[in-house]
Amino acid sequence: MNLSHITQGNDNDAPAPGNKFAQFAAGCFWGVELAFQSVPGVTNTEVGYSQGFLHNPSYEDVCTNTTNHAEVVRVQYDPKECTFESLLDVFWSRHDPTTLNRQ
């Protein structure tokens, strides 16, 4: 595993017309992603890793706790149907940063 610092730019993709992106980091992305998928106005969700030292890490790499990545959910939503504040409400209802592994 190469832990060299790699400068990575922003994603080259954009949300669908009229939609926005929001990204949320939690101890484990699967439960948080599932919660967002049931929110009216959410049009897509994606899971992955953010930050860290390793370019394109695998799940096994991240589980070593040596890459400094956070598990994240990127939510695409229609702000006419769903507010960012309502997404925050969903996130905080599923995530307690004071628990073990921030899950």
Residues taking part in catalysis: 28
Residue 32: HSE in the Cβ half-sphere, 13 Å Cα cutoff: 27
Q: Which residues are CB-contacts of 58 (< 8 A; sequence separation ≥ 6)?
A: none
Q: How long is the chain? A: 103
Nearest C-alpha neighbor of 73 from the set 35, 18, 17: 35
CA–CA gap between residue 72 and residue 64 (Å, rounded): 17
Per DSSP, helices labelled H in 1-103 are 29-37, 59-63, 84-94
